[in-house]
Amino acid sequence: MPRLILGAFAAASLGLLISGSAHAAKPFPSPSAPAPVFYRSVKVDGLDIFYREAGAANAPTLLLLHGFPSSSRMFEPLLARLSGQFHLLAPDYPGFGHSDAPDPKAFAYTFDHIAEVMQHFTEAVGSSRYVLYMQDYGGPVGFRLAVAHPERVQGVIIQNAVAHDDGLGPRWNRMREFWADRAANEAGFRQSLTSLAGAQRRHLGASPNATNYDPDLWSDEFAFLNKSGESDIQIDLFFDYRTNVASYSAWQAWLRQAKPPTLVVWGRYDQSFEAAEAQAYKREIPDADVHLIDAGHFALDEKPDEVAALIGAFMSKLSKSRRPRSTPMKNAYTPR
């Protein structure tokens, strides 16, 4: 059988096994034909939620959950490389990117609330089965989605997102002081949050390859964080991050019980989280596929080809066996 036909047959088989849509399964584009990216908004809980979407709707879905202080824009490298094989959905959280950013006096900026909006987002766009890609804040959001609706999760991809104390090194002592006494520590956090040096440090980390990084990455981030009202939103989320640490045991319990197929891709030069966190996931998922790569906190900044290749291999492996749905667990948050 010609190679092209074999490739099309394998792609169609993958779509049948882990389709992210209710549409009838049809062959979807080959890896050599990236799909166009669409820039959309949908009304969710009274908010306009912006999202990027690429790939055939009947292909396996990757739900891409961004970190701080990013947006769906961080996933442009994956949209360009993987949309010929998979269906990619990348939303902006409320208060981020191009989504609505209501005043914190009118909208509770907590991880419970953002996870609730993201759950409603997936329902609004008709995505009921997906593989979670979680980076930084995407971890707290994604794990809440998984615990609330484990039957929707076909696998997890973790990229510098934390679910164990192993990932929080000595530099988190200052954050714990902020959690203990917000009033006494908030001014210092605001100054660090909105500085250009802080934005640059988040991207470069300890990387010896600074010339590989586009400075637009941190200059755009700096401009975003200095928009009117944005620091109020981010400070509220910084303070609420303590609820994530308190939830680690529940997330670990879900991982142990559900045993989702798991890929961990960790940028070793991250200065926000400790590299030991990557291996910590093997305590719950002994067969997790763990890769420590030469990149920083935002691994897609420096190693988009390597990360995309790892994701492609992981997603293809999922097509080889259909896993039973996980047993539902108690919700991590109370729907509003």
**Percent of the chain scored above 70 by pLDDT?**
85
The residue type at 217: L
pLDDT value of residue 7: 40
Please give the span between the terminal C-alpha atoms of the chain, in angstroms, as a whole number: 55
State the CB neighbour count (10 A cutoff) for residue 48: 13
- Among 66, 120, 203, 297, the active-site one is 297
Domain ranges of the chain: 3-318
- Per-10-residue mean pLDDT, the chain, length 336: 38 39 40 85 98 95 96 96 96 98 97 98 97 98 98 98 96 94 92 85 83 88 90 96 98 98 97 96 98 95 96 89 47 36
The residue type at 40: R
Q: Nearest 5°: CA angle at 120, between 239 and 297? A: 45
Residue corresponding to tokens 């991207």: 203
Which fold does the domain 3-318 belong to in CATH? Rossmann fold (3.40.50)
State the CB neighbour count (10 A cutoff) for residue 272: 21
pLDDT value of residue 322: 55
Q: Exposed, middle or buried: residue 186 (CB in 10 Å: 0-12, 13-18, 19+)?
A: middle
Query: Using one digit for the tens of pLDDT, what is the confidence trace for 232-251?
Result: 999 999 999 999 999 999 99
- Considering Cα of 153, then 155, then 160, then 163, what sign does the dihedral take? positive
pLDDT value of residue 32: 52
* Annotation says 120 is catalytic: no
Q: How far is CA 271 from the centre of its chain?
A: 18
pLDDT value of residue 211: 85
